[in-house]
Structure 1
């Protein structure tokens, strides 16, 4: 049992942890921990004012010094009200909380909290999109294509990233569109 625990299990955990540390920087990890404090499950049981203020500090372009001083009070007031508001209880998704805040006009009463929730909801989508685009760029911009212009690279990137849409377009539609173009560039002669 000792062998499996020390030689196999702990080595595997160390390898996974090393991979995660290599993949995610300290700031990224801190962002994820801070964002988790907004989890509405179990009446905001993970709610931590200090970590949420830290999250706002990381987004320093979106919060000025005065707002950062008011934020802890607004966060405490918000969570107390959220725990007493039947509309907000029972939801497991932060997006639903934001939706209800808008419907009940809480987004104006707690505008800093709402802004922080918006940033928390946007970050994973923005990060994933950027990573996907850089990954696509490394596939498209090979050594053979390294001298192509920005416009051509942009067109290829759009086609690659939106390939689900482009798969639905038939060859006949493409030919017809090309024939209707006034200024077309002919690459093959």
Structure 2
């Protein structure tokens, strides 16, 4: 607490008395009979929770079953036991900016070659723990160039959870600052 106080003193930042009455906005006339401590601990916390829940509802709209099943189909665990080309193609349909109709056909062919290769031709693909390990091994074995569209899809799949979090956080930030 001493470090915070000295920092505030150094930069001339006012430290409110937490027991003092809190007045919302700039008006000193509108008293709610609450103090700064209550405002920080309850009101702001509750607002933050409300906005987080709103953002999670919006994120859930974007995360459909098709996306999740498509991502799971690329999981290398148990020799790609969840691999389902039709689910992967449904996932790709979410990325139409990256995959036009000709690339979609090429990806379909690459997926056929990919699954045959990783299930039998190269023993390094047997004990992978997740999609990130798969991406690393594709680069290490130079298959990321041969199977460039499969590799692109794997990269997009790895980015998707982060992108959803960033979108949710951006929404939350926007909503908090609009109030």
Q: Return the offset for 1:22.
A: 8.5
2:101 corresponds to which residue? 65
In structure 1, stretches of 5+ residues that fail to align are 1-19, 143-189
C-alpha distance in structure 2 between counterparts of 1:54 and 1:141, whole Å: 36
What count of residue pairs does the alignment treat as equivalent?
A: 123
User: In the alignment, what sits opposite 1:35?
Assistant: 71
Task: Verify: 1:103 aligned to 2:160, yes or no.
Answer: no
Provide the aligned C-alpha RMSD in A: 2.1
Equivalent residue, structure 1, for 2:3: none
CA apart distance, 1:39: 1.0
User: Displacement, 1:123?
Assistant: 0.7
Q: Aligned equivalents of 2:76 and 2:170: distance in 1?
A: 31
Aligned position for 2:168: 131
- What TM-score do the two structures reach when normalised by structure 1? 0.59
1:53 paired to 2:62:
no
Which position in structure 2 is the counterpart of 1:118? 155
1:109-138 Cα offsets, whole Å, 9 max, x none, are 101100110111111101111101221332
Instruction: Assess if the C-alpha contact under 8 Å between 2:58 and 2:168 holds in 1.
Output: no
Match of 2:42 in 1: none
Q: Which moved more, 1:69-78 or 1:121-130?
A: 69-78
In structure 2, C-alpha distance between the alignment counterparts of 1:141 and 1:37, rounded to whole Å: 40
TM (normalized to structure 2)? 0.62
Residues 34 and 55 in structure 1, CA contact (< 8 A), matched pair in contact too: yes
**Could you tell me which residue of structure 1 aligns to residue 114 of structure 2?**
78
Indicate the SS of the match to 2:124: coil
Match of 1:182 in 2: none
CA contact (8 A) 1:50 1:72 kept: no
For residue 62 of structure 1, give the secondary structure of its aligned residue in structure 2: coil
Higher helix share: 1
Deviation at 1:49, TM superposition (A): 0.7
